[in-house]
Amino acid sequence: MEEMIEFEIDVLKLYSYGMLMRMNIKLGKSVVLFEELKECYRVTGLLKMAAQVEKTLIIVNENIDNVKLVMTSKESDALESFKFGMEPLSKN
């Protein structure tokens, strides 16, 4: 099983809000699949594989948190810009 990488917030800031939203949805779906896979491994006695999947799930959940953090930041920037009657700081 390939190892999941942890997303860097500075890199996520380069993505548009829509791309972040799609990424968040896909990561959420992958959590469900990984949970099912982990349970299958656990039931069949493949505990090392289940532990590997659990490590991946931890990273996926951290990535979801990072994506949500950047989305919130982009929402805040947009609201702040509209509050002052300016163009949004970021068109993303």
Residue 44 covered by a domain: yes
Question: What per-residue confidence (pLDDT) applies to 5?
Answer: 83
**pTM for the full model?**
0.80
pLDDT single digits (tens) 6-63: 889 899 999 999 999 999 999 999 999 999 999 999 999 999 999 999 999 999 999 9
Using CA atoms, how far apart are residues 73 and 92, in angstroms rounded to an integer? 11
Residue 69 counted as domain residue = yes
DSSP label at 21? H
Asked if 74 and 20 touch (Cβ cutoff 8 Å), the reply is yes
pLDDT at 22: 97
In a domain, 55, yes or no: yes
Q: How many domains does the chain have?
A: 1
6 located within any domain: no
pLDDT over 90 (residue 90): no
